[in-house]
Amino acid sequence: MHFHVIDRNHWHRKPYFEHYWHHSRCTFSMTANLDITTIRLEVKRQNMKLYPVLLYMLSTVVNRHREFRTCMDSEGRLGYWDWMSPSYTIFHEDDTTFSSIWTLYSEEFHMFYRRYLDDLDRYGSIKGLMTKENEPPNTFPVSSIPWVNFSSFNLNIYNEGTYLLPIFTMGRYKERDGRTLLPLAGQFHHAVCDGYHAGLVYNELQGLADTCEHWLTHY
């Protein structure tokens, strides 16, 4: 992994960053339904888990666009990672707590899926907030609320609005008119991306879901 420092004086987003960082710092949320009818059937046919498939899809879209990999590094420099991995929550039913673990991303789905299964087997029963050690700085957060088919979700972070990476939250999918719809909320920082970029997330995720037969190979 490599962190590329941005030269703000030659950055096309400089005026937008300056405005939404210094003058009107803000984040925004967007929630939309993903039609996962096809991919859910394919996952069921191959006896696979849906959660890691969705994590792979999110990671693939995030890694396609620099705007979703832009953040401040440990030295306070603005830049972007060349690629990112998901840091995601898992639920412990016995005491209703959750843990956050991460899985190294791979462009090859079957490789990512195997890594997920290995991580789940090793860390899935360990209690605590962060249970997989040595999480790298180039991760982005994903969580799931599978008990609620929400139509809107807003995450409020009280850190002076300095967290620039996207944050994703999945809800409970619902059957409607023969389709399976999954609510997905995204939290974005306006300093590094706009509504257009948020729209790319949902449109490209839907594209991946609709064409899953081409990339969803059995592990």
Residue position matching structure tokens 């030269």: 7
Q: Report which of 80, 70, 67, 81 is spatially closest to residue 196, judged by C-alpha positions.
A: 67
Task: With beta carbons less than 8 A apart as the criterion, state whether 130 and 100 touch.
Answer: yes
Q: Is 190 a catalytic residue?
A: yes
Catalytic residue among 190, 197, 214, 218: 190
d(CA 107, CA 78) in angstroms, rounded, equals 26
Closest CA to 34 of 16, 57, 17: 57
Q: Are 103 and 158 in contact (CB under 8 A)?
A: no
Alpha-carbon distance 52 to 112, whole Å?
8
* Burial of 194 (C-beta count, 10 Å sphere; 0-12/13-18/19+): middle
Angle at 104 (CA atoms; ends 142, 85), nearest 5 degrees: 40
**CA count, 13 A, side-chain hemisphere, 166:** 32
**Which positions are catalytic?**
190
